[in-house]
Amino acid sequence: MADKDDRLQSWKEIASALNREVRTVQMWEKHEGLPVHRHFHSRRSTVFAFRSEIETWAKRRTEMAAPVRAPFAQLDQIAAQPSAPAKKAREAYFKGRYFWNRRNETDLRKALQCFRTAAATDPECALAYTGIADTLTLLSFYEIVPSTEAMPQARDAAIRAIQLEPNLAEAHTSLADVHLHFDWRWDAAGREYRRAIECNPGYALGYHWYANLLAATGQHDAAYAAVMRALEIDPVSLSFQVWAGVTSYLARRYEDAVYHYSQALELDPDFAVAHMYLAQALEQVGRYPEAIASFDTAIRLTGGSSNVIAMKAHAHALAGDALAARDLLNQLQSPAAGKCLPSYDIAATHAALGDCASAVHWLEQACRERHMKLFLVSQDPRFDPLRGHSKFNAVVQQLGLTASFSSQTTH
């Protein structure tokens, strides 16, 4: 164990030890894996580091930066790197990530096209395959494309990325998310998330998606710490801010959830996902008119997402308006509703209506569809009315989870 004199207690002390400015060492942590540790305290965190670890990292960085003396005949070859196809592929990849981060159907489809273009331009570009996997995962999660159609392709793309670059954090994160959302292989998902973080401690999405697994298994403090680590790396990420809210929501810290969603909406008032999840938190504290208004905003911004409509039905049910809730459920099950039925959220609405048999029926339907939200079922407060119901417990156990909500939190 490091002695007390080995410990650096702030960014200022870390920067001083490296003889650099604070901003420089913060960038080194984000992009080059500078070993900085954190204590998390509710919405805030403090940093510290060990002088011995910092010195080891600095020595390794210096060695890696040492100039390579190449024969004169090789200089033209070095100057030609990367190849034109590789450069075009990376440009397409980063363009795809821009669209991917916008989290709506139109932009996700644009992102998928960009990533496929990158892979076609340079079949050796591992990042392109991670983009394909991650986009198919989100298209399934938001119930735009059936998971049974998209997720086997996502798995193949993630595995291909690992084959091309075994130490690529993005690739291990992509595969972990397939294991989490579609395969329900919790241990395998955990191994892949941890491997991603080991490969690149500065890859924020690895922490964000690892938080999903931690929350799903009732490790609420650890989930919140993980997503806050993602926010430390990228403080203006809308998705990370929203998921800090989701982890708070699953831990029943609804006011904290509202805070995080509001932070995201301050950055982008039209971010539909933030309106959708804000509405969920508001309904849990009895602010039903505000919740329904937020759902209406999300429905408008998503162009009538069936997923959001089902969630709005749940708010009506909680508010005591069973007629409005059932009307929305009937709309979702009409022939014109589309091929992706939000079975998981329909089940939650039936639970709020007090119809346990129908709720379990729709959860069983969600299992058959390999529904992407099922990983949340053991912690989702909307299913609290079903806890103790034997058939509900059977569904949860089928997933390899526990039916009881875990209050493992110190907040």
The three-state (H, E, C) secondary structure of 160-173, written as one string: HHHHHCCCCHHHHH
143 residue type, one letter: E
Dist. CA 402–CA 115, nearest whole Å = 37
CA atoms within 13 A on the CB side of 90: 6
Residue 275: its pLDDT value, please? 97
Task: Please write the tens of the pLDDT for every residue from 323-367.
Answer: 999 999 999 987 655 567 899 999 999 999 999 999 999 999 999
* Distant-in-sequence, close-in-space partners of 280: CB < 8 Å, separation ≥ 6: 249, 291, 311
DSSP 390: H
Residue 334: its pLDDT value, please? 75
Task: Please write the tens of the pLDDT for every residue from 51-78.
Answer: 888 888 888 776 655 444 444 444 444 4
Dist. CA 178–CA 172, nearest whole Å = 10
71 conformational bin, left if phi > 0, alpha if psi -120 to 50, beta if neither:
beta
Query: What does 231-300 look like in DSSP terms, one character per residue?
Result: HHH-TT-HHHHHHHHHHHHHTT-HHHHHHHHHHHHHH-TT-HHHHHHHHHHHHHTT-HHHHHHHHHHHHH
Q: Is the pLDDT of residue 311 over 90?
A: yes
- Whether the model pTM is above 0.85: no
Residue 37: its pLDDT value, please? 86
Residue 286: its pLDDT value, please? 97
* Distant-in-sequence, close-in-space partners of 354: CB < 8 Å, separation ≥ 6: 385
* Distant-in-sequence, close-in-space partners of 268: CB < 8 Å, separation ≥ 6: 238, 274
Give Dmax over CA atoms of the chain in angstroms: 80
Dist. CA 154–CA 132, nearest whole Å = 7
Residue 76: its pLDDT value, please? 47
CA dihedral 411, 286, 216, 182 (to 10 degrees): -160
Domains of the chain: 4-64 (1.10.10), 84-201 (1.25.40.10), 336-411 (no CATH)
Residue 335: cis peptide before it, omega within 30 degrees of 0: no
Per the CB < 8 A criterion, the answer to whether 410 and 221 are in contact is yes
Q: Is the pLDDT of residue 113 over 90?
A: yes
Taking CA atoms, 359 is separated from 233, 267, 389, in Å, by 40, 36, 11
Residue 77: its pLDDT value, please? 45
Residue 1: its pLDDT value, please? 44
User: Which of the pair, 411 or 242, is modelled with greater confidence?
Assistant: 242
pLDDT band for 31, please (50, 70, 90 cuts): low
Q: Is the pLDDT of residue 3 over 50?
A: yes
Per the CB < 8 A criterion, the answer to whether 175 and 190 are in contact is no
Taking CA atoms, 47 is separated from 39, 207, 208, 316, in Å, by 6, 17, 19, 44
| Average pLDDT over every residue of 200-205 | 94
pLDDT band for 404, please (50, 70, 90 cuts): low
Average pLDDT of the chain, as a whole number = 89
Dist. CA 182–CA 356, nearest whole Å = 25
pLDDT band for 388, please (50, 70, 90 cuts): confident
Residue 74: its pLDDT value, please? 46
Report residue 155: phi and psi, to 5°: -60, -45
Provide, rounded to the nearest whole percent, the portion of the chain with pLDDT above 70. Answer: 88
Residue 270: its pLDDT value, please? 95
User: Which of the pair, 234 or 293, is modelled with greater confidence?
Assistant: 293
Rounded to the nearest 10 degrees, the angle between the axes of helix 272-284 and helix 238-250 is 20
Q: Is the pLDDT of residue 211 over 80?
A: yes
Q: Is the pLDDT of residue 158 over 60?
A: yes
User: Which of the pair, 27 or 260, is modelled with greater confidence?
Assistant: 260
Provide, rounded to the nearest whole percent, the portion of the chain with pLDDT above 90. Answer: 72
